[in-house]
Amino acid sequence: MSNVLVFFDVLGEALSPTQRELIAQAQSLGEVHVAVGAYQGDPTPALALAGLGEVYLAETSLPAPEVAVVDLLETAVAECEAEVILGSSTADITDALARLAVRLDTGIICGVAGLNGELVATKSELAGSYTTTSQLIPAPGRPLVATFKPNSLDPQRVDALLDAGDQPDGTVLPVRPSEGGVEVLERTALKVSARPALAEARVVVAGGRGVDGDFTPLEDLADELGAGLGASRAATDAGWIEHAAQVGQTGVTVSPQLYISAGISGAIQQRAGMQTAGTIVAINKDEDAPVFEIADFGVVGDLHEVIPQMIEELRRRKG
């Protein structure tokens, strides 16, 4: 069995769905140890899972962009003799693991969907138009560093793989915050939405130009479905919704089970961000909209009529 080190840049009171998925992926490869960057109080209760190995912490919490997380990771890798180091494919985690790979003089594979027992990584490339497999060229003492795309495992499967266990003890490693270099002048918390994060959501409702300035019907539909809310570049450029909601090549790439596209023509830029979705439903007034070429179910019609009717029907079915 390999030793696997999983990196969480932030750990809250409970594991996020993405963090649970990562542990489930890691457990299929070997014994899982965890390194935690930023936390408040005692982070270990969130990690009370069966079969978990060591939990590594620095002497103090290390919130991003604190570069000392790389020292923490480097020390933890040596401590647990990790052969695989995993994290999610978010910006701050990618920064830390990319630096770690330099220090360990090894390769990094980013945006992985699956990793098998031979450490062959499967991933989606060129905006979902290809699936590739790749592998570290083997060499003695060379661990694999990889970042995972969320939503690669079914949540029910994750629940089945993870069993509750005893609260682990944290192991504090002699790592302190770095001095100078990057000084944080200001931190502003971004508006926290009650909806699931776009990249992690199992269902995404997205609107474009056809929304015509008012996202309320889409918000209502998203809430009815427990979905994340997305938008095309046209809608975010128009200022109808925040830029973080942009799905597409230069925004968030999503791969949900269900993607509902409303009032989006489906230009290549947008399609690149969603074409690996399980099922695509499209609503658009223009019957020639390219989105219909890839939709599993399409409605040529006005979203301002179709969506309220959907919401009404969903509520009726829920009774």
Partner 1 sequence: MANAPLHIITLVKWVPDAQLERRYNAEGRIDRAEGVLSELDEYPLEAALQLREAAADREVRVTALTMGPAGASTAAKKALQIGADDAYQLTDEALIGADIWASSVALRAAVEAVAGAGEFDSGEPEYLVLTGMASEEGESGAIPAQLAERLGAHVVTYATGLELTPDRLVVTRSGGTESQKVAVAMPAVVSVTDQANDPRYPNFKAIMAAKKKPLTRLSLADIGLRPEEVTAKVRVLSTTARPPRTAGEIITDEGDAGLKVVEFLAKERLL
Q: Which of residues 16-45 bind partner 1 (CB under 8 A)?
A: none
At closest approach, how far in Å is the CB of 148 from partner 1?
13
Q: Choose, by CB under 8 A, the member of 110, 158, 161, 238 that binds partner 1.
A: 110
Pairing mode, if any, of strands 203-207 and 258-262?
parallel
Distance CA 24, CA 26 (A): 5
Closest to partner 1 by CB, 90 vs 171, is 90
Judged by CB under 8 A, does residue 187 bind partner 1?
A: yes
Judged by CB under 8 A, does residue 253 bind partner 1?
A: yes
At closest approach, how far in Å is the CB of 216 from partner 1?
16
Residue 48 is encoded by which pair of tokens? 């009370």
For residue 199, give the nearest of 235, 265, 132, 245 by alpha carbon: 245
Task: Give the three-state DSSP class for 225.
Answer: helix
Q: Are 63 and 36 contacting, i.e. CB atoms less than 8 angstroms apart? A: no
What does the per-residue mask of binding to partner 1 show for 50-89, with x meaning CB under 8 A? --------------xx-x--x-------------------
What does the per-residue mask of binding to partner 1 show for 256-275, with x meaning CB under 8 A? -xx---------xx--x--x
Closest to partner 1 by CB, 50 vs 102, is 102
Closest to partner 1 by CB, 101 vs 153, is 101
Stretch that binds partner 1, among 25-33, 53-61, 168-176, 180-188 (CB under 8 A): 180-188
CA 283 from centre of chain: 26
Stretch that binds partner 1, among 29-37, 46-54, 75-83, 185-193 (CB under 8 A): 185-193
For residue 24, give the nearest of 196, 156, 170, 171 by alpha carbon: 156
What are 84's strand-pairing partners? Answer: 4, 144
Dihedral sign (CA 268, 273, 279, 283): negative
Closest to partner 1 by CB, 65 vs 170, is 65
Number of Cβ within 10 Å of residue 209's Cβ equals 18
Closest to partner 1 by CB, 62 vs 162, is 62
Judged by CB under 8 A, does residue 155 bind partner 1?
A: no
Stretch that binds partner 1, among 156-164, 169-177, 204-212, 302-310 (CB under 8 A): 302-310
Residue 24 is encoded by which pair of tokens? 């489930």
Closest to partner 1 by CB, 48 vs 120, is 120
Name the burial class of residue 56, with classes exposed (0-12), middle (13-18) and buried (19+) by CB atoms within 10 angstroms of its CB.
Answer: buried
Q: In the chain, what is the straight-line distance between the N-terminal and C-terminal CA atoms, in Å?
A: 50
Q: Choose, by CB under 8 A, the member of 40, 48, 129, 166 that binds partner 1.
A: 129
Number of C-alpha atoms within 13 angstroms, CB side, residue 97? 28
